[in-house]
Structure 1
């Protein structure tokens, strides 16, 4: 009996001496598990990597003496709580995980401070309550008399605990690397990666990859790898047909990238009124691509530009416009310059936003008109109103020597969509009044009105008689945290991931002089396909592109930056590793052909990253000119 009492006494002392570590382990594990449930309710095996990573962090505290140990644990609690809180907000907004690249480009995401309030939930206080409650408890705990063991014993215990946690982490990462080869290096599917290895491991891996990428980029890429990539792209350059080849030769090209123009509003009415009556009218007079997906990553609007202007995929983390302004690109502007065109990019916002003032030079635009080139006489949302932007841009177009290539980016329909009211054409939103999706419908209705007036003026002035016009949306308008309201608008019940992905389309139209070639093209397509399509119309050199000429293709696979893809019949959702039959909406098993398409998507993304990280377009063009 005395032995049992002695054992209980020893265990009690161990418990009291390590109560701070035990508490930290429990509370941080709960916070991390709670976050993982938010981002991946589909996976049930995430607890092992989460617990393992918390064990590793907790083990470091063993090296410190009592008071310093409490200090370390408290600081780590605050730090991890802030990270998990920020991760939760970002996931609700973008349905993605924060990376170092995202943080680098945080200032480029626009003025969305007012929308942050809509992301907050009362339950978020859970991440910080323990920090406040702990303060008086810690003062009391410091007064408890505890045994201060020698550093040698502490070090032995630390090693034991550390290796237990590290072994669990290593096993999970190893298993994931076997299941999804290359994913831990490319981080192309961040949500799936995070759901499998836990939040702490994800951020550690992100830091490691960021550092290792910078170091590896200092080394030249093997010539065999360069040749492999070049041959792959050369096969994509083989013409598949001559439909409308050269139809735009000698004509102007006017491209308009519309901020947050998502396809679900096209043809839709709210309380009897069309949301986009002008776009609906012009789509009927144009070649309309109704199965067109945005392919952006963390760079949002700038990624849409990058995809459309270069037929390259965006960076896996951060924005290509911020990361690769020193690279050589075979852009649309460069090709039009070689044809004797005047090339100009126009946007009524700060010239340095998204690093455009530098990147447009890298993409070889002859001129860039930004905020300083416009009279800021009316502001809506972030800056110059679309109405004023279009009116002033029309006057600029009249002065340009023809033929010209103008690339325009609108601004007013930027989230949070709450500054477009009161312009005489507000929609009757009914139950959606005051909601984000209601504000969006009103905001895009405003932009539609201004776009309609601009296109009508181009037509009236006779400019469209000698111009090909392209209009498309850049990225999503409704973030994931508002998914339910989007499903409600669409009448979708018991929504699946396929429903969400099907809604991630943007309209794209090509208008020809005299409304020629109008109709609907339902080929699955993405923004990476725009450049080769334009290249066919204008007889441009279209080397070293990942996209397809949509006018001559009969099949196409749309690859997304997170490694999801669709061939038009099946949609592979990477973050749940699930295949869906698009027609039936049901999950289906994988097949050998789908596995090959999945491998090709991963290969393209890997090749794309090599091209960007090692400036391979420069090498390819140099070799061609030898």
Structure 2
């Protein structure tokens, strides 16, 4: 036995032996992370086998570097490669926990545009067990440091090193062949990134993403006007006439686009601790002059909020990797809502946010979208107590934004971006007015508190609109930009919603977000059509009576009769009134049952959904990646030159002051007197809302 142990130690004292030990440790921790930190959906024994196999080829190839090098530096090189790949795994564990997706080079490239307060979010989701992904690196260092394993400087024959590399490539080829047997077109079609990691591994996913990023850069450089032809044909063939009964009902009205951060539809009419969580939004949702949609879905990808903005103001999808606003907002040509409304209907356009102007690269993107004004935190009074999470608290932000809104020449288009209801949902005690939920999930349990605070700020804003007189001449659109609770929190969602066994189908249904159009005299009601954020711009333009048939838009008027109701998701899934696709599974949308033996009609619906989803995503990606709108010149539209715009505060204030001579702003109509904005924000002298959270009932939550 002692002799056998000596042989083992002697084997690990060789460089091939040390490499194999390192590979084994790396495989153990990677396979552990796959099964405990990610939700990869390995449902069959074949898929579970591939999940176990896929870390080996890339690790053998990377760690095999030790065989090509001499002496001690080969051991150092292996430890460095191990540390880098472990850090990549660690970063993806954290990112996946909240976004149910893997990091991309595009996302890392644009990370600077979303770095504000990012550390708070990261530290809020780290778990002690996450650091186990570095365990193998530490073990190897300790083995070498205490000479349990000794450094071997004997040379390795080049043909041995080459054979190891060839073996790694052959293993990858076998892995890829088996993966394609189970999922054809894995690397060529628009699949969820979970698929690539499940079948081929995280390292191969990184390489594949790098290749696609480079390809996308080449696409823009080599694009020509003819690349737009297929897109124009598809849009022409699939264009749906808008609902004529609603055409122009809001013509000439001011437009408020109210961004409800991370706000999901289930919060409407939701009660906790015997209280409505969002009483103000509930009231608006059910009013006779509000047009509400209860099957309206977010369609965002990695760009989250920026993807929602891209769809709402351009009717173009976000990209599969990263944020289109961050990557292409500074350089691409757009034909966006602000510019169209300026040029076709004489609107003043402005966006408001209580954060820094550079977030999601908005400062540059908004210039190319044609925004006249970009009013951000720097324009507003600020104290440390005024901020939380990603900027000014909503009540304070809206209080500070109101005077600037009153200065805008009418008609105007004003986008108001709230932010307090943002992950990780922190709220100081003096602003809490409802207890935390008791799911045991710290990410989820604060969600109702920040949602209630957002709702209160909306209530104050709507009262101010009435008081200022703006309500009589405005249409107010409310929309939720994306989910607040990701599918990594199914157990908590099961407790919140009362749905036992909250599964992938339920999570797909809970991607609904609010969409409401509120205007005095509007023929309202709750509309049940299935649609998504890509459809908002055509719907709004029809209400305003703005002609948009000459533009490249992938959505359709939500009120149009006989419209296509397939809602494409950015990862290739889709939702329709009959079929819901999640990964490789199909569900009956009406009852949530998994479809295992589809009827001929269900099979036809499945194929129609896949074909339309794949087509619209690929065509939209082609438009953005190739910057194809630079080749397109719709009649009556002048290309926007971002250099014509400046968001410097001194220039903006001077411009607003000069605009008062037109006598169309609310301020000028009120003889230069601002309308008082009433708020109960304790930071501004309002009452402290602190409540006792110990008396809440754990059985009082309910879904709609």
What is the TM-score with the length of structure 2 in the denominator? 0.82
| Counterpart selection for 2:141 from 135, 138, 144 | 135
Find 1:29's aligned residue among 14, 27, 30. 27
Relative distance call for 1:148 and 1:347 in structure 2 (3 A) is same
Give SS of 1:419's match: coil
Decide whether aligned partners of structure 1 residues 177 and 332 sit closer, same or farther in structure 2, where only a CA change above 3 A counts. farther
Secondary structure at 1:389's aligned position in 2? helix
Corresponding residue of 2:513: 506
Judging changes above 3 Å, is the alpha-carbon distance between structure 1 residues 475 and 249 closer, same or farther for their aligned structure 2 residues? same
Counterpart of 2:446 in 1: which secondary structure? helix
Q: Secondary structure at the match of 2:252?
A: coil
Choose 387-396 or 350-359, whichever is displaced more.
387-396
Q: CA deviation at 1:186?
A: 6.6
Q: Does the 8 Å CA contact 2:225/2:628 hold for their aligned counterparts?
A: no
Find the aligned partners of 2:470 and 2:208 in 1 and give their Cα distance. Answer: 53
Unaligned stretches of 5+ residues in structure 1? 1-5
Please report how far the alpha carbon of residue 143 of structure 1 lies from its aligned counterpart in structure 2 after TM superposition: 7.3
2:328 corresponds to: 324
**1:265 aligned residue:** 267
| Secondary structure of the structure 2 residue equivalent to 1:476 | coil
Give, in whole Å, the separation in 2 of the partners of 1:570 and 1:125: 41
Task: Indicate which of 565, 568, 575 corresponds to 1:559.
Answer: 568
For residues 216 and 618 of structure 1, do their structure 2 counterparts lie closer, same or farther at Cα, with a shift above 3 Å needed?
closer
- What is the alpha-carbon distance in structure 2 between the residues aligned to residue 366 and residue 168 of structure 1? 57
Tell me if the contact between 2:441 and 2:492 (Cα under 8 Å) persists in the aligned partners: no
TM-score, length basis structure 1: 0.91
Matched residues in 1 for 2:81 and 2:428: separation?
Answer: 44
- The RMSD of aligned alpha carbons is 2.7
| Rounded Cα–Cα distance in structure 2 between residues aligned with 1:124 and 1:530 | 40
Shift of 1:335: 1.4
The answer on 1:614 being equivalent to 2:618 is no
Question: Contact conserved, 1:421 with 1:442, CA < 8 A, in 2?
Answer: no
- The CA distance in 2 between the partners of 1:144 and 1:275, in whole Å, is 63
Secondary structure of 1:469's counterpart equals: strand
* 1:119-134 aligned within 5 A: 119-134=125-140
Secondary structure, in 3 states, of the residue corresponding to 1:587?
A: coil
Distance 1:396 1:145 in 2: 69
Alignment partners' CA distance in 1, 2:453 and 2:478 = 16
Structure 2, unmatched stretches of 5+, are: 639-704
- Give the distance between the partners of 1:454 and 1:623, measured in 2 at CA: 38
Question: Which string of whole-angstrom CA distances, capped at 9 and with x for unpartnered residues, describes residues 273-328 of structure 1?
Answer: 11000000111111111111111122222221111111100011111111112111
Equivalent in 476, 479, 500 of residue 472 of structure 1: 479
CA distance in 1: counterparts of 2:409 and 2:150, whole angstroms:
83
Contact 1:32–1:199, Cα closer than 8 Å, also in 2? no
After superposition, what is the alpha-carbon deviation per residue over 1:217-257, rounded to whole angstroms, capped at 9, x for unaligned?
A: 3212472x421111112233341542301111111111111
1:253 is aligned, of 255, 258, 262, to 255
Cα distance, 1:183 vs. partner? 5.2
Paired residues, number: 613
Is 1:261–1:507's contact at 8 Å kept on the other side of the alignment? yes
* 528-537 or 161-170: bigger deviation: 161-170
- 1:197 counterpart = 2:203: no
Residue number in structure 2 paired with 1:49: 54
The 3 A distance-change label for structure 1 pair 233 and 137 is same
2:69 is the counterpart of 1:67 = no
* Aligned counterpart in structure 1 of residue 108 of structure 2, from 103, 106, 122: 103
Q: What is the rounded CA distance, in whole Å, between the counterparts of 2:32 and 2:122 in structure 1? A: 20
For 1:602, the equivalent position in structure 2 comes to 614
State the match for 1:364 in structure 2: 370
* Kept in 2: contact 1:303–1:314 (CA 8 A): yes
Equivalent position to 2:339, from 314, 319, 334: 334
Q: Equivalent residue for 1:216? A: 219
Cα separation, partners in 2 of 1:521 and 1:145, compared to 1, 3 Å: closer
State how far apart, in whole Å, the 2-side matches of 1:346 and 1:614 are: 30
Shift of 1:332: 1.0
**In 2, Cα distance between equivalents of 1:608 and 1:145:** 54
Cα 1:467–1:12 change in 2 (3 A) is: closer
Distance 1:115 1:400 in 2: 35
Q: Conserved in 1, the CA contact under 8 Å of 2:310 and 2:325?
A: yes
Per the alignment, in what secondary structure is the counterpart of residue 217 of structure 1? helix
Deviates more, 1:546-555 or 1:93-102: 546-555
| Counterpart for residue 166 of structure 1 | 169
Tell me which stretches of 4 or more aligned residues in structure 1 moved more than 4 Å. 6-16, 140-147, 174-183, 185-188, 622-626
SS at match of 2:248: coil
